[in-house]
Amino acid sequence: MLNNIISILKEFDISGYKIIEKKVISEEMFFIKKQLDMNRNKEVHKFNIVVYVDFEENGEKFKGDSSIEVYTTMSDEEIRKAINDASYAAKFVKNKYYPLVSGIKEETITIPSKFNEENPIKWMIKLKDSLYKNDNKEDGSINSSEIFLNKVFTRIVNSEGVDVSYISNSSEIEFITNWKGEEEVELYNLLSFSDYNEAYIENKVEEALKVSEYKAKAKEEPSTGGYNVILKGENVKEMMTYYYTQANAKSVYNKIGKFKIGDKIQGENVKGDLLNITLTKELENSPVSSPYDEDGFKLLNVKIIEDGKLINYYGDVRNSYYLNVSPTGTLKNYIVEGGSKSIEEMNSEPCIIVEAFSDFQMNSLTGDFGGEIRLALYVEGDRITPMTGGSISGNIKNVQGEMYLSSEVEANGNFFGPRAMLLKNISVAGR
């Protein structure tokens, strides 16, 4: 079908095209408690087509574009009409001119994963067994779960000779933990990964059940004031998205990213840990590892921040061309080096350890962050008090000068970095 689409594209007066072919084969299982409620499999095969039209106005060059989705069920006439509409729409899009990625046909790359081996049903059973292995608590359990396993074939072809492809795997497990107390507590959990790691799944379930237990015991709301706050896991990753976004060539070109090469992004007199961040095309167990970006550009690993100083931008061919910097492709995995303090050292002084938010967010444009506390532990010496309610807020630009990263590191989807971070004098709104 791909060759047929290319033949139809050549009928039109366009400057170029890009086709992303995706074929996803999925296995899905749904459980109530430990009982299988439903299982199904499906296959989705589609093509994303981008049509480019170059034109000039008042001596300035532009590259218009428009994208469409094409499915295997569509007839030639339906495809032809969709491409015709896209080629017309592209003439009204005034993107500054940039070159498309050029290349040649390459061999298909298979990203390493145990999921490439044997029947996917075998792995679904293993995932289920790992998920429920630690579901053995008297007052707490996994109430329901959904397990997804996807094998994805991706091929990228364009009018400049690019023809690259790769095979990847991704898995997601969604599960609800509950704990019986004076009131029953339910917490939502999500795991995303690309390889089978029994210990990773079992440990995440154990942590989730422990958080549910603490939540069932939490009655107090923290008092309003300034506290040392420790963030963990997914929330550390969310905080680091500020630096990831600000160093992106697209953000810089659109004047959203304010970082300049050579800037000491944490300020001059940093008391805490200096940041070291590297972006990489492949990261163990990441569901977004890829040898190429969506334009078919062969990805290059790059260190963007070294000892608190921005040393490189990263980005796709288009926005790198606009900034006159070397493209790296759009990298989606990032590694943040661990810091100087252990988690035990971090909570040696009175602090609030936030175990779960209702919704924690970092505004990667402004640096504002905050969220409503679902569960926190107030630690003062040997005394640990579970708390719930209230919220934290701040701006990373005000706290990054005295920000400590844990020496302990962990993998978390497309992020590998500190398990925890300590922020000083954070505003907590409570009772």
Q: Is the pTM of this model over 0.95?
A: no
Task: State the pLDDT at residue 68.
Answer: 97
DSSP states along 185-213 = EEEEEEEEESS--HHHHHHHHHHHHHHHH
pLDDT tens digits in sequence order for the chain, 431 residues long: 999 999 999 999 999 999 999 999 999 999 999 999 999 999 999 999 999 999 999 999 999 999 999 999 999 999 999 999 999 999 999 999 999 999 999 999 999 999 999 899 999 999 999 999 999 999 999 999 999 999 999 999 999 999 999 999 999 999 999 999 877 889 999 999 999 999 999 999 999 999 999 999 888 899 899 999 999 999 999 999 999 999 999 999 999 999 999 999 999 999 999 999 999 999 999 999 999 999 999 999 999 999 999 999 999 999 999 999 999 999 999 999 999 999 999 999 999 999 999 989 999 999 999 999 999 999 998 899 999 999 999 999 999 999 999 999 999 999 999 999 999 999 999 88
Rounded to the nearest 5°, which phi and psi values hold at 14? -125, 165
**What token pair was written down for 125?**
């059973």
DSSP states along 158-194 = ETTS-EEEEEEEEEEEEEEEEE-SSS-EEEEEEEEES
Kindly report the CA angle at 271 between 265 and 276, in degrees rounded to 5?
A: 45
Domain-wise residue ranges, the chain: 2-215, 218-429
Q: Rg of the chain's alpha carbons, rounded to an integer?
A: 24
Q: Does domain 2-215 have CATH number 3.30.2290.10?
A: yes
CA-wise closest residue to 53 among 100, 20, 108: 100
The strand order across the sheet containing 333-336 reads 309-310, 302-306, 277-280, 333-336, 415-418, 409-412
Q: How far is CA 324 from CA 289, 297, 306, in A?
A: 26, 17, 22
DSSP percent split of the chain into helix, strand, coil, nearest 5: 20, 45, 35
Give the separation between CA 328 and CA 330, rounded to whole angstroms: 7
